[in-house]
Structures are given as C-alpha cells and as structure tokens.
Structure 1
Amino acid sequence: MKTTPPKRKSNKHYRSREYLTPSEVRSLLNATLSRTSRYAERDFLLMLMMFRHGLRVGEAVGEKYGLRWDAVMWGEGQIFITREKGSDSGVHPLREDELVHLKKLREQFPESKYIFVSERGEVMKTDAVRKLIGRVAAEAGLDIKVHCHMMRHACGYFLVNRGYNTREIQDFLGHRDIKHTEKYTKLNAQRFMNFDWGDL
C-alpha cells in the first residue's frame, strides 16, 4: 500500500518571521569565516553577496542564473545580476571588500565560468547552499530556523530601515510589481519611534 508523504507545514509553523536582522546576518557571516573549511572564504562571499544584492539562491548559484565571471565589470566595480522568476535583471555596484574576495576566489578557480563552484570546479548546486546555510546558522547559534530566501528578505528589511524609498528598493531587488516591495515597509519599526507613550 502506497503511503503519502507528510505535507509540509506552512512557514509560520517553523518561524515567526521570514527575514534576518542585520545583527543576525553579521553572526552568520562571522560564523562562516571562523569555520575550518578550506572553502570558508567562498562561503562567506556567497552569503555576503546573497544579502547585499538580495539574491535568490538560484540567482547566486546554478547553471541557469548563477553568478558568472563575465558578469563582473572589474574596471567599473559593478556586476550584472540576472534575476529569475520574471524579475528585472540589472547592474549593481560592488563594494571594495567584495572585489577583494572576488579576486581571491578567481585565483582559486581560474578555469571556472561560474563564481561559486564546488570542490570539483563545477557550479554549486542550490541544495548544497541550502544545507550550508542551515549548518552555519546552527553554528552561529541563531534562534531562528534559517533558509536561503531569508537573505533576500534581510536585504529588503535592511534597506527600508535605512530609509531608502520603495521605488529604489523595487529597482534594486528587481520586483516588477511594487506590491512585492511594499511588504518591507511593514518591517520598518523606525516609523513608530516618535510615538509618545507619556508616563506609560
């Protein structure tokens, strides 16, 4: 008799929120660098870029949309982000620390056309990144069950709390429908900082 696999419960069953705070992202990055893995620097840059550029896991790695070296414009300090799921692709600036790590990674895997590759020099699989982030989050002692897409949401959360407007964030994340961007404004607690509670 065939048994039906148990249906996965909704995200709300596993966690109260679907984004990471800046301090949690920092803990994740620090835990990545402190690992004894020979690929700690690659993994650090992977997570840093997923956060800073609001990347879905399939936009960071994978044969179809994964980041490639020909997308990096070294002279301009920029990278072309190819978005999936019907989102708009575009050019993002690269910060100096990203360029430093990218140059080191290029030296490590000079033959690969993809930025993030496995030990065998093949493009990393999305499932490998999912497992990696889960392990690192546990090592970082985070009190929330972390998955890859939380890095993209963490980017939106960070930008809205830094005061950037919805249209800028929409363009940065490649949202075609601004409704997808507007959900981040609800995560901006700074809006309520001027509430006066009197003596209470």
Structure 2
Amino acid sequence: MKPKLALVEPSNIFRQVAPGRVSNDEMRSREYLTPAEIERLIKAAKEGRWSLRDATLIMVAYRHGLRAKEACELEWSQVEFGRSASLHVRRAKKGKPSVHPIRGDELRMLTALRKEYPDSGYIFTTERGTPFTPDAINRLVKIIGQRAGLALPVHFHMLRHSCGYKLANDGIDTRAIQDWLGHVSIAHTTRYTALSPARFKDFWRD
C-alpha cells in the first residue's frame, strides 16, 4: 500500500545575490605606487611599533620586486654583506632566480635588522619570531598604507608593480626588467613599458 504524501507549499525565498569581489580597477585607479608614495609608505612604517622591520620590508620588497611569498621566505643566507653586497633572489611561480645588488641605504637597514634579530633564520618575522604568511604580510602592508594616508588602497603586490614601473620609467631595457623581476615570459614585463611615459619623451618636441 502506497503511503499518502501530503503536499507542502514551497518555502523558497528569493534573495538578492550578494555582489562578488570588487575588481581592482573599481577599487583603485592604478596598481602601482609612485616613488614619492613609496617614500610616504616607508615613513609611515617607521612610525609603527616594529619600525625597522616594517620599513626594511617595504624597501626590500619594492627594490627587488618581491611577491608576498618571496618576502615571507626570504632568509639571511640569501644576503651577502660587505662591499659587494647582494641579494640572492629565489622566485616563486617558477620564476627565474637572480642576484641583485644591494644599495647603501638598504644595506644599512638590513645590517641593523640583522643585529636586532640575530637568532632568526628568516629576515622578516612576526612578533612571535615565526615567518610571516603571505596573508599576514599583505595585511601588514595594507595597515601601513592606511597610516600613510595614500589616495588609493594599498596591497603587497603593488610593491612589485611599483618596482616594474619605476624601472620602466627610468628607461631600463625591457629584457633587463624581465630578468630583474624573474618573469619567465616577457609578455608579463611589457605591461610596465607600455604605460611608461618615457616612451613618449620625444613627442611634440620642436
């Protein structure tokens, strides 16, 4: 004998679909910072509780175009101190490794940071002495960006883009920028040279 099934009124409630993640283009007008804005970011970092660590992080990530993962995994063994100071950069995403020179101001900050954390194998560590995660280091840069009072919201990867645009604006060869940033394909590098005003420096000259 078949059971008698009662008919039930559908109780579906049609709600408005929540909007997805806002695109980067909608959040900010550009995905890089100017050298002046980088200086403001470093200045804001120096005013925080972990001033030396945070300012050095901004400087190193910007100068060497580091991704968040690369900055988190940066070890003191990758730094060569001395007259020919250099940084052995290991790239994520199967990028090409390279050896970058370390300039004087950056070297002084790294030297001071090494003295402050002599027992750490990693260059940038949390308050607990453990390496940062990419999410944590990105949150840190966002907070510093807010303190700097910049006109656009900041995230960690903008430091890498800022490096590329700075080198392109300085007229550095595209292939050299590709090697500096560790791009496997030059197509990823041309985005910087395509927007560089240096391309148009001879336009409208008499």
Q: Deviations over 1:99-132 (max 9, x none)?
A: 2111211122111110001112111222222121
Please say which of residues 173-182 and 67-76 is displaced more in the overlay: 67-76
Shift of the alpha carbon at 1:197? 8.9
Distance 1:105 1:197 in 2: 48
Please say which of residues 173-182 and 97-106 is displaced more in the overlay: 97-106
Aligned to 1:26: 39
Letter in 2 for 1:170: Q
SS of 1:185 mapped into structure 2: helix
Residue 102 (structure 2) pairs with residue 89 (structure 1)? no
Residue 23 (structure 2) pairs with residue 10 (structure 1)? yes
Match of 2:52 among 41, 45, 67: 41
Letter in 2 for 1:59: E
Bigger Rg over Cα = 2
Shift of the alpha carbon at 1:54? 0.3
Shift of the alpha carbon at 1:6? 4.9
Shift of the alpha carbon at 1:9? 2.4
C-alpha RMSD of matched pairs (Å): 1.9
> Is the CA contact (8 Å cut-off) linking 2:88 and 2:98 kept in structure 1?
yes
Shift of the alpha carbon at 1:135? 1.4
Aligned to 2:9: none
Aligned to 2:131: 123
Distance 2:18 2:65 in 1: 33
Aligned to 1:71: 78
Aligned to 1:132: 140
Structure 2 residue ranges without an equivalent (≥5): 1-11
> Is the CA contact (8 Å cut-off) linking 2:171 and 2:198 kept in structure 1?
no
Task: Give TM-score scaled by structure 2 length.
Answer: 0.86
Shift of the alpha carbon at 1:140? 1.1
Shift of the alpha carbon at 1:195? 2.9
Report sequence identity in percent.
44
Structure 1 residue ranges without an equivalent (≥5): none
Aligned to 2:158: 150
Runs of 4+ in structure 1 displaced over 4 angstroms?
Answer: 3-6
SS of 1:196 mapped into structure 2: coil
> Is the CA contact (8 Å cut-off) linking 2:120 and 2:129 kept in structure 1?
yes
Q: Report how many residues are paired.
A: 191
> Is the CA contact (8 Å cut-off) linking 2:80 and 2:87 kept in structure 1?
yes
SS of 2:198 mapped into structure 1: helix
> Is the CA contact (8 Å cut-off) linking 2:168 and 2:193 kept in structure 1?
yes
SS of 2:189 mapped into structure 1: helix
